[in-house]
Structure 1
């Protein structure tokens, strides 16, 4: 009987596996395509992203002159396009260089490899992430630092979503923003680079400054990290759902019920 390595060497897609190995990469490809298409349309539309007191997470922080006065952080006059584009570079950079997402889209779109023990598209020409443009994946830790700023603004937007013209209240949109923040936080806290920064680079916790606290923090982040794939997909899907809900409220298509 031939080894799995020998079968892979025969060419792309060759394998001894009898399961539906192609289902996960196909599902990932379709999922990324769907959410990517929605986000692109939402970002470039540049309107219906604010329904007081709710701000779409795609547009936070809103720093262009075209932003509504109630939520405008800065009035950048020279920017003629959608204000969401100003921040999407950080978000796309952070998610695009994420260790889980890299594995997912390498398999789904580049088929390198499409799955374990399956013949690769490029065979033995794989060179890892040592050449352009893939060497830029090493910028992930810097996108992590920049994403902290956006996460803080999203936290503020969620808090602001509980305050209406007549004072504190709870609407469906308030809860939608809260769930969105929880899911995004779960994804962010599970980041491999954050885990390394907090304690993954420590060989001896008892020898390190604040070692006990760092170990506890590392254990906490590790809990999120073990479920990083789930947080990644849940947060990706729900951030689009959050934008859609706020967009429909802003357009008057749906009414935002006040629960309290």
Structure 2
């Protein structure tokens, strides 16, 4: 749209004067909201009208009559009576009406600006929160990686490979057991993503007699990219196993869903 051509077309003067149809008024109003240049032009026209009507005194219009007579070719002595009909449009009324419109538009524009500013602030706050979360996650991942490296390099750490079992022979995992701190680090990279409604559950086992003790479920398996989990282990474990259980875990392992198993050497 050519804004300058639209402004020079004269439609904005007619809009301020109230000489447009309802449909045309709506179109101009919509363009005022969209284009600040059009809004500014309407404000300028309104200001000019207010100034014009303020400079003309309604009690003294002799100079206006004289100018009309000169324009029509009559001298001062002419006695011809010129019938001047009352203008169809009262500019003072229009200016007051237009001022109300301009005020409404200005308020609407201000409200939109405030709303946009509020939206931008909220967006910036959300982006900052996301960035802070990402930094925190990266920091946690780095700390976790450094901790794992120290565990892997510790000669006192017991490594327990967990081999796939039965129908899950292709799966695998590994436990790094730090007996001094009573915790294990489970590397579960070799396990597939559990189906919906299911979770992996880790077990500490005594072999004689076979006594399983739950070390908890891996609820964050899907969301954890590294698939390395730190788990507290207060047991004198002789073996470790991983089963697939319903969400929330089970009191005893479901042996038909035993994915991996490894004996402590």
Q: TM-score, normalised by structure 2?
A: 0.21
Q: Which has the higher strand share?
A: 2
Greater relative contact order, per chain length (Cα 8 Å cut-off, separation 6+):
1
Bigger Rg, which one:
2
Task: Name whichever structure is richer in helix by fraction.
Answer: 1
